[in-house]
Structure 1
């Protein structure tokens, strides 16, 4: 379902506010770097999931319960990795010794947006 003109204007306003508040973070999000990172993370998780299935099935065939349990845990871990891959930012913002701190959320933009939203709701209710 396409966005209405009003929704498109709001989205453009939010984008401009993001660029004004934190241009470095905004430029990191707009490029193909985020898509490449996400795609690579999902491919790795899918490959790991297939390995987990193989371990699960191999453990069942060999009647080794512990191998099946390990396979299940690998599958579960890869599923979590795939889901969190969609929600995380570009590479380098994850856990680890070289990880940079997560960008601080600036309350100014969100506060202004909430105030505008509330003002519009109040104006609409008053009509």
Structure 2
């Protein structure tokens, strides 16, 4: 659902005020993109998650023999491993990848699939912006 003219004007006014007040923050927020984690990182996260599930279940199954003082240490460690695996699988590292890394003069270009995808997303973003600028 598109914004009304009044809402669009208010949004533009807020944006201009943000740029005027803190241009560094505004450019950081505007240029921020979410990156996908690498395939290797996702696989490592899934494996760690599965190992954590196994540790959690084994800690519950053998609660008497693996729990000093009645506290399920192995299960807690398993849960923490599951959490770490999930975080590892869904987050990307801070390193630059793909188009951003290729554009900084390292002599490498992005693979053809990534170039096409970036062109497509760039086109869609431009169309989206034009649609709101016209209204």
TM-score by length of 1: 0.42
Q: TM-score, normalised by structure 2?
A: 0.40
Structure having the higher Rg: 2
